[in-house]
Each structure stands twice: as structure tokens, then as C-alpha cells.
Structure 1
Amino acid sequence: MDRIYYRFPQKIDFEQRYGFNGDLKYLARVMASMYGKSGHMEIDTVGPNVKRNPDAIKARRDIKVDIVQNRLDFVPLSQVTLQKELPSIPASGTVDFRFTVGYTYMDRNYDKMSLVDDVFLVRATMNADLTLQIAQTHGQGRTIPEEVANTIETVMEHFKG
């Protein structure tokens, strides 16, 4: 059974085909390994409070990955939940993921602040090749769809699991 989100947007922001020797179960393991990972990035943007943050900020980027369930709901896909979800993921076909990038930073007063999350829907189709379709559904675009695809590709290349 394919895990397809029934409200996946028709407007795709980015699409990429990969020569990939694996299946969707392997891709699910890769996506689960990204859950909760973070990194620092420079954002040239004004924070939500202009008086407290007039300059560019250094933000921490946190990733959360969810997988569609029942064509309607998303459930977290982490190392903890992977074993429960893995039997129902097909080896080939189509699976939809929700990829959320959250941002936090420290302001001048060392208060932890958050920015609006960027939310992407990722459709992975595995036939002979892997095709990723990415659509941004929410957020201010601090992360672009190409960066999401590059992150997934990089983790796939270095994943040992």
C-alpha cells in the first residue's frame, strides 16, 4: 500500500531524479536518521522583533520528519518510531513525508527565540529510479526546497544503516 497524502499540492517547487540503488524502506531509515538533527546557519534576515534584532542573526536549524499515515495524518518518523512504521512502507511505489525545519537563535540578551518554521511536503517515488518532489507548504522560505533535496541526498550518500 502506498503512503500518499491526499492533500499533496499540485504545484511542485522542486523535482529531482536520482539513480538510487535501494528501496523506500531504506529511504525511510535515512529520513528517520535526520529526525532531531540540527546545525548552525547564517540567516541574513531581521528577526521577529526589529528593536531587539536589527541585524542578521545566527540561527540553529532543527529538522523533524513525519510520514503520512491513513492518507490524512502524519506521524513522527524517528529512530524510536521507525520499527513500528517500517512494515507498512512498500519497497517501491510512493511515500509522502513532511519535512519541518525549525529555527531558534539567541538574541543580544541571550534569550532563546524562535522563528517561523518552514514546512515541506516531500513525495518519494521509487520505480527504477528515485524521484523526489518537494513543495513548501508553510513558512518564510529561510530554507529553500533545493536545500531539502540536497540534505536528503547528502544523508543518503553517507548513511550506514
Structure 2
Amino acid sequence: MKGLIILLLTLLSSSCSSEKVLSTAPYLSDKVRMASESNDSSTLSDDDYDQITAYLSQGRWRWIAFYPILKQSPFLGATSFQEGLDIAMAYALPENPEMVLKFVNQSNVNKLCNMPFIEPTPDERERYFLQTRAALNRLTTRKEWGEKCLAVLENNYKTTQEK
């Protein structure tokens, strides 16, 4: 009987936590929009910024679309978040290359199309390179920036292989 109660409580708590995760994205999206419109990001916590970065890294199109908004006021004061935005977009590249490439330009191509690691293992570097190269090669649109992005990626990979 005690085991059954523990099992039920575990199942209930996991279903409650997944509901919280599902409701977090729309709520957080609204917070970002309101902060942008009011030019006041004080309602966003460090956890919110971490979650935004996680959503971006996963290649979620709605969050990638926020990229240009997040690169300007009122979000500029969150220094570590700003540093992580381009890294998150680089992680998103193999997941959603067409969406990421919408925001690639001359000033950020070397950041968004580069490997998003500080000290990767050879396996991490290889896996990211192969996945991202395959994703960029499958593109049917955004060919110009896709080719530039691929060149940056391949050059970086070659340079890290030589070290």
C-alpha cells in the first residue's frame, strides 16, 4: 500500500512539473514581448534568461525569431545573456538552419556559424560539425548565407583539427 501511494505521488508530481514546463514557454514569451515594448527587462530573472537561451539552443523557431529583439535594449544589461545569445544561435544552427540564417549577417557570421564550444571533446566537435554541415547542405533557400556559413564552419573545423 505504501509503495502504491509513493508511485501515485511520483506520477502526479511528474505530470504537474511537465505542465509547468509546457506553460513556461508562452508565459516567458509574453514577458519578453512586454519587456521589449516597455523597454524594461526588470521582470526577467536569471532563470528566465537561462530558459530563453535553452529554447534558442534547441532551435525553436519562435525563440530564434526573438534574436534581434534580444540583441537590443532593454536586454543589453544582461551581459552574460548577451554573450550566450550567439552561442545559443550556433547550437540552434543544425536544428533549424533556415531560421538561424535569417539573422546571419556580416557582423555575426563568424559567431553564429562557428562551433559553439569553449573546450569541446573531439567527439563533440566532430558530431556538431557533421550535423551542422549536413543541415546546411540540405538547405533549399538562403543559399548565399548558407554557403558563407558553411565556409566559416569548415574553416573553423579544419583549424581546430590542425591543433
Please give the TM-score of this superposition, normalised by the length of structure 2. 0.25
Higher relative strand content: 1
Instruction: Report which of the two structures shows the higher radius of gyration computed on alpha carbons.
Output: 2
Structure with more relative contact order (C-alpha pairs < 8 Å, separation 6 or more): 1
Higher relative helix content: 2
